[in-house]
Amino acid sequence: MTADKTGLCEFTVVSNEAVADGLMRIVLSAPDVAFRMQAGQFLNLAVPGDASQILRIPLSFSHADAKAGTVEIVYAVVGDGTRRLSRMAPGDASTVVAPCGNPWPLVEGARRACVVAGGVGITPVVACARMLAEADVAFDAVVGAQTSSRLWGTDVLEELGAGRVAVTTDDGSAGRAGFTTDALAELLAEGGYDVVYTCGPEVMMAGVARICREAGVACRVSMERMMCCGFGACGTCNVAMADGTYKSCCKDGPVFDAEEVAW
């Protein structure tokens, strides 16, 4: 699938609020971008406020509303850039380079899917669920977090029409205690799934990929790498492939067929 042409666009912040412990939801007014973003693609966002920080921050989105001209991003505050992003207020302006990367693919003939999110991997997974709902593909969801206070998105997935939303937390404070992979293995054992879409910590996605392979179910993963340019020019974001080659996460990904990746 070919992405729409990547370009530099201005945005202003509509809202920027905490939605869970360490998780923020920012809504950008970005009419030049919103109508071109496809689920699974990402934006490379410049956070103003520190001239020494020249790198943009790559961020997936959970909802791009073409009519309203807005893009919603849920992000974790992990370092200096996302801390400065968390301080941006309604009306503040900056730029994004977008759309970047390739979207989640609709797998031909797939009638039932499962989406699996770990931590802040929920952001592109919510966009994926919206894509599936719009394409009339039935889906269930597995959402995992370290603890209940860091969970976001289960209600959104239900509103989007998820048949079931299985929640797992590492400490058992919400849903079942354990990992997303435990819940996924049980769902796949019931049968009837054609494809699994997942984003989360790499170790989780490796587990999801293995379970899918064993169950004979197609699996698409959204990978994360440190990124400098975000459009295939610098070579910092390599992902090792099972055939011994490397692909760029920003340009060839971030979505890959799990079978392609060297886990």
101 or 188: whose CB is closer to ligand FAD?
Answer: 101
Taking CB under 6 A as the criterion, which residues in 170-229 touch ligand FES? 227-229
Q: Which of 16, 38, 42, 169 binds ligand FAD (CB under 6 A)?
A: 42
Q: Considering the complex, what minimum distance in angstroms separates the CB of residue 240 from ligand FAD? A: 16
d(CA 93, CA 46): 10
Q: Interacting stretch for ligand FES, rule CB under 6 A, among 106-114, 155-163, 191-199, 233-241?
A: 233-241
Q: Is 234 in the site for ligand FES (CB under 6 A)?
A: yes
What sign results for the dihedral spanned by CA atoms 38, 42, 48, 49? positive
Window 95-134: residues binding ligand FAD (CB under 6 A) = 120, 123
Indicate whether 235 belongs to the interface with ligand FES (CB under 6 A).
yes
Least Å distance, CB 102 to ligand FES, is 13
Q: Which of 180, 248 has the CB closer to ligand FES?
A: 248
Cβ closest to ligand FES, residue 167 vs residue 228: 228
Per DSSP (E only), the strands in the chain are 7-20, 23-29, 42-45, 57-60, 63-65, 70-76, 93-100, 112-118, 138-145, 165-169, 176-177, 195-199, 218-222, 238-240, 246-248, 255-257
Q: How far apart are CA 56 and CA 233, in angstroms?
A: 14
d(CA 127, CA 222): 12
Residue with tokens 């666009």: 9
d(CA 37, CA 45): 14
Nearer to ligand FES, 94 or 236 (CB): 236
* Cβ 238 to ligand FAD shortest distance, Å: 12
Rounded to a whole number of angstroms, the minimum distance from the CB of residue 231 to ligand FES is: 7
The answer to whether 230 contacts ligand FES (rule: CB under 6 A) is yes
> What is the rounded CA–CA span in Å between residue 237 and residue 117?
22
| Contacting residues toward ligand FES, per CB under 6 A | 227-230, 232-237, 248-250
